[in-house]
Copies of this chain bind each other. A is one copy, B any other.
């Protein structure tokens, strides 16, 4: 059993860039999402989430269920993700009113739990008889999983265990059903497995570990399970194809898997649990499968922004090297799930590769998912939009040039909220004698091993990171990102020459020590493998962890006619205009080709010198509908 990089409870209080984001979540996203759950948000379709719990409570007590159930079959999970976001937010920003809101919601949830431990408003209100008859589409285990995660987070934040006990009872109900009574099957949408691992670690309840392992082990062993299940039932939610084993990761036992495929969120949630279980049990066969799947994603199927699941068809992985920028799906939730997977891979092996990807996904796709004011969200994260085509053409209808408001299917906004609020869980880790700094996050962090660390940095815009040991001592393991072509390190002011091992430098530290890291702040031109047809002849601009993009707003309304000069000069400026204040812009030597009215011509385009301006990808689409491109044609 390895737990080397797992962070302990209640430990990271952010400053700087992360604090500003966490504050935005606290001040804007969490209150807004609460009003949505309560159907009190203006100009927003009703979610009925809280009312579903109230009505389910009535059903449990045998009362009239009022206006019944409304929403998606997985509507309960919105409440769970909100509680999780609120819980992590409470760690950073104690707030009695918010805590009281959470407590009231937990009371509603607890009241909606059936006497046998079952908890799901859709089935409790609509039809108890249909429970557990449609694992493919029913999302009962998915909703339980999210509520288990919420319970663990809220217990960690407040020490209050009401929801934790509710969910432990729920886990026992599921155990009884699938282990004691031996019902066949596994969740159509993986999630409960990783949640059960958390619940096991929080409560120590072995049944949770056993159940997580069970669902992972039985998955895909009977590749016809969903087909048989469908033949046994007379109802459906969406008419999902029970034989699409690729979509639902059910075609083979997980230990045989080698290529990431199917619905991207489902896939990475599953892989996360697999990696989590492998680190817990030392299952080398399972771990080997995780390594293969990791490579399949990150070496052949991942956008430069850490986006995954390139096709809208099934919100899914496509095939290797099929990474079109303009028709990308790249769901926000899938990149959040990729961060989960990366964090669990780090539990198995402290290797900077995992943290590199975690950071790539966070600073680009995950942050891009949210408007800078926290009020609107992208579900889909293209790497190119062209108004007139994007959002309109039949093949680009999902690629919107601006963030829409709250979706009827609202998985991404609360997922982003809980991820950002819990950033410390991913940035830091510890084992008995080492503090791990996987990502650079200003603030104070207390580790389970007794070390307490202060981190100062303007990252991702500043490249100096200063750690001060405030309490305790041992080893400080700091990741050196692969993108940093050079770095310098000093300990208490003295230069320290150290080669990173698997992406980390390890420094012995004591109370009061200061470790300063200076990373490479040079903008970089990035090239994709020529095996990616959609990106040949192009380059992308990056600085630190940030992928940059070119928007019409900064480039005379036209980015399609820009060509970047290879190794051209790049200057830097800080944005001064809202909403991109304090955002570092890059100005790159480029040319612009002359406008041409003819669709085709034999006159080569004339190149005119031009300075093209790029902004971080996560800030795109905040200034109205305009062209945007990450990958730009290169000239010598």
Q: Main SS of chain A's interface residues? A: loop
Would B527 and A560 count as touching, CB distance under 8 A? no
A526 interfacial contact with B, CB 8 Å: yes
Tell which of A64-72, A294-302, A408-416 binds the partner.
A294-302
For the complex, give the distance between the alpha carbons of A537 and B539 in Å.
Answer: 12
For the complex, give the distance between the alpha carbons of A550 and B558 in Å.
Answer: 30
Tell which of A106-114, A150-158, A596-604 binds the partner.
A596-604
- Taken residue by residue from 589 to 629, chain A's Cβ proximity to chain B (1 for < 8 Å, 0 otherwise) reads as 00001011111111111000000000000000000000000
A322 interfacial contact with B, CB 8 Å: yes
A530 interfacial contact with B, CB 8 Å: yes
Q: Shortest CB–CB separation between residue A122 and chain B, in angstroms? A: 29
Would B313 and A526 count as touching, CB distance under 8 A? no
Partner of A299, one of B530, B599, B603: B599
Would B560 and A318 count as touching, CB distance under 8 A? no
Would B392 and A319 count as touching, CB distance under 8 A? yes
A395 interfacial contact with B, CB 8 Å: yes
Partner of A395, one of B321, B324, B533, B633: B324
A389 interfacial contact with B, CB 8 Å: yes
For the complex, give the distance between the alpha carbons of A538 and B600 in Å.
Answer: 12
Chain B neighbourhood of A560, CB < 8 A:
530-531, 533, 536
Would A314 and B537 count as touching, CB distance under 8 A? no
A–B pairs, 29, beta carbons within 8 Å: A299-B599, A304-B600, A311-B393, A312-B395, A316-B394, A318-B389, A319-B389, A321-B388, A322-B389, A322-B395, A324-B395, A327-B395, A384-B533, A386-B533, A524-B602, A525-B602, A526-B600, A527-B605, A529-B597, A529-B600, A530-B561, A530-B605, A531-B560, A533-B560, A537-B538, A537-B634, A539-B604, A566-B604, A635-B636
Q: Give the B-binding residues of A (Cβ under 8 A).
A: 298-300, 302, 304, 311-314, 316, 318-322, 324, 326-327, 384, 386, 388-389, 392-396, 483, 485, 524-534, 536-539, 542, 558, 560-561, 563, 566-567, 593, 595-605, 633-636
Q: A395-B395, A524-B602, A529-B600 are in contact. List 15 more A-B contacts (CB 8 A).
A: A312-B395, A321-B388, A321-B389, A322-B393, A526-B600, A526-B601, A527-B602, A527-B603, A529-B598, A530-B561, A531-B560, A536-B560, A537-B633, A635-B635, A636-B636
